[in-house]
Every structure is written in structure tokens, then in C-alpha cells.
Amino acid sequence: MKTLTIAFAACLMAATAFGAKADGTRTATDKMSMKYAVTIYIDAFSQGKLTGLAEILDENVKLTTSSGTDIRTYSKSDIIYMLKPTRDVEQNCKTSYSVIESLPNQVVVKVNMKYNAFTKVNYVTMAQTVKGWKITNISTVFQGVS
């Protein structure tokens, strides 16, 4: 019985050690989740926290922005290049997100970034891969801009 108790305690400690780290870093399992990808995306675009962004962007990701009749499309390298000057710069906005559509291997998330004078609305499409959830498409529109 003593051996069984020790074995159980060892398994419990191992499971706890692999599940979370004291310093707040995420485990490999955490990094595979959809919530992780959404959090990394929001942190990058609203707070300039770029760590992990390249990993959650699919190699063929497209970012499309539209404001009025002006439509622009960007690649993964363009996205990363555009965000580098904003590293550690926190945007003066409130962010929120909601899942618009959820399928077993694909999800569409609406991310709102509400500024004083306008709202930036991002529709983020993600696909589940063997390497976790990857962002495959981002469509951005600006509301309240004249």
C-alpha cells in the first residue's frame, strides 16, 4: 500500500510539473490551444508583445485591411515587419473577443479593439494543425472612421 501511495504521489507531482510552471510560462499543451493563439494575437496587436506571434501565424496567412474603398493585403513577413516598431507599445484601446463560428478544426474569432474615436474589428480565422492552432486569415475593418 505504501508503494502505491508513493507511486500515486510521484505521478501527481509529475502531472502538476508538466501542467504549469511557477514563472507563468506556458507548457507545450497550453501552446497547442486555440485560446493561446487568440491571446498571443491580441497581446501582439494591442500591447506590442510579439513573443510567440510568428509561431501562431500560418506560413500563408493573409491580413486584409479595408477602410472605405482602400483595400490592402499583407503576408506573414509583412505583418511581423509592421508590428516590430510597436514592440512593447500598449495601444490606448479596450479589447474583447468572441467566437463567431467554431468547428472541430477551424474557428472564426471576432476581436474588437475599441479606441476613443473608432473601433478596429478583426475577423481572425484559425485552423487546428499538428503544431497547434494557426492563424490563416485576418480581415480588419475600421468602424467609426470618417
pLDDT for the residue numbered 42: 96
Residue 18 lies in a domain: no
CATH number at residue 33: 3.10.450.50
- Please check whether residue 133 is in contact with residue 39, taking contact to mean a CB–CB distance below 8 angstroms: no
Residue 7 lies in a domain: no
Q: What is the pLDDT of residues 102-145, one digit of tens each?
A: 999 999 999 999 999 999 999 999 999 999 999 999 999 988 87
Q: How many structural domains are present in the chain?
A: 1
Nearest-5° Cα angle at 69, 106 to 115:
65
Residue 54 lies in a domain: yes
Pick from 75, 73, 36, 27: which is nearest to 56 by CA? Answer: 36
Q: Residue 25's pLDDT band (boundaries 50, 70, 90)? A: low
Domain hosting 93: range is: 28-143
